[in-house]
């Protein structure tokens, strides 16, 4: 097909058939198609083609810029959302990282708020002004104050009260999976401190005041 000036004008106006459009575009990109092009006298192919390219180029920047800005804006928003999500996940995992150390030491210096610990094997709530050391290698729990512990498996611990300089006698307790146990150092008026360890359901056998205090403290 010969490419004429009239055909080029039709191409500009969007009136070409697919075959005519293909012929014009082939002419635009090929320097060796002069034989297929019929120009009016006095006009050169390169001059006409350069003029066409200038018209085409004049229409491209606005569209190209618009698509570029849209693309960048979209991906900037997506990247920002992804970073915020990753930061949230990282912060959550840091704040809720399971404790895996074989020896755990906790000191709750608060006057009113329990300190909670969640590990792979058990959950523990330590009352205010209490401290605890858990050695999972030796199976010992040394503590002073009051705590509630729930094991996620059947396990045996020796629970030792350490409020005084001289260690009190330790009680070996088998913690059953899923049950809450309360341990506290207790001393009546004029009496020596003693260690008390019991299941949550056994609270009903305690003196009313002690029972109420423990139930309030551990939200039972």
Domain annotation for the chain: domains and CATH numbers: 3-93 (no CATH), 103-217 (2.60.120)
User: What is the pLDDT, as a whole number, of residue 87?
Assistant: 67
CB atoms under 10 Å from CB of 220, counted, come to: 13
User: What is the pLDDT, as a whole number, of residue 29?
Assistant: 67
Estimate to the nearest angstrom the gap between the alpha carbon of 51 and the chain centroid. 57
Contact (Cβ atoms closer than 8 angstroms) between residue 119 and residue 94 = no
User: What is the pLDDT, as a whole number, of residue 77?
Assistant: 65
Cα–Cα distance between 183 and 161 in angstroms, integer? Answer: 9
pLDDT in tens, 60-98: 545 444 454 444 555 566 666 677 677 666 665 555 545
Listed residue (209, 159, 165) closest to 188, CA to CA: 209
User: What is the pLDDT, as a whole number, of residue 64?
Assistant: 47
Report the range of poorest mean pLDDT among 131-135, 187-191, 194-198: 187-191
pLDDT in tens, 97-152: 454 557 888 889 988 899 998 877 888 899 998 988 888 788 888 888 888 998 88
Higher pLDDT, 121 or 43: 121
Contact (Cβ atoms closer than 8 angstroms) between residue 130 and residue 149 = no
Q: How far is CA 21 from CA 4, 45, 76, 92, 145, in A?
A: 12, 17, 38, 60, 90
Residue 41 predicted with pLDDT over 50: no
Range with the largest mean pLDDT of 30-39, 80-89, 162-171: 80-89
Listed residue (195, 146, 155, 194) closest to 173, CA to CA: 155
Vertex 139: Cα angle to 133 and 140 (nearest 5): 35
User: What is the pLDDT, as a whole number, of residue 9?
Assistant: 75
Report the range of poorest mean pLDDT among 32-46, 117-131, 145-159, 194-208: 32-46
Residue 12 predicted with pLDDT over 50: yes
Residue 202's pLDDT band, with cuts at 50, 70 and 90, is: confident
């Amino acid at each position: 097909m010969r490419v004429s000036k009239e055909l080029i004008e039709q191409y500009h106006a969007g009136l070409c058939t697919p075959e005519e459009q293909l012929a014009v575009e082939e002419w635009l990109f090929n320097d060796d198609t002069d034989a297929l092009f019929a120009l009016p006298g006095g006009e050169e192919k390169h001059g006409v083609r350069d003029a066409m390219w200038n018209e085409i180029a004049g229409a491209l920047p606005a569209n190209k810029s618009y698509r570029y800005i849209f693309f960048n804006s979209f991906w900037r928003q997506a990247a920002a959302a992804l970073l915020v999500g990753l930061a949230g996940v990282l912060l959550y995992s840091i704040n809720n990282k399971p404790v895996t150390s074989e020896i755990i030491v906790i000191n709750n210096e608060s006057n009113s708020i329990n300190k909670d610990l969640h590990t792979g094997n058990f959950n523990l709530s330590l009352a205010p002004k209490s401290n605890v050391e858990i050695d999972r290698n030796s199976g010992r729990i040394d503590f002073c104050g009051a705590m509630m512990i729930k094991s996620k498996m059947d396990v045996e611990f020796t629970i030792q009260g350490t409020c005084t300089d001289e260690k009190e006698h330790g009680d070996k307790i088998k913690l059953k999976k899923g049950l809450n146990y309360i341990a506290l150092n207790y001393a009546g008026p004029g009496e020596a401190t003693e260690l008390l360890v019991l299941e949550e359901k056994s609270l009903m056998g305690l003196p009313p005041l002690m029972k109420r205090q423990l139930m309030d403290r551990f939200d039972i």
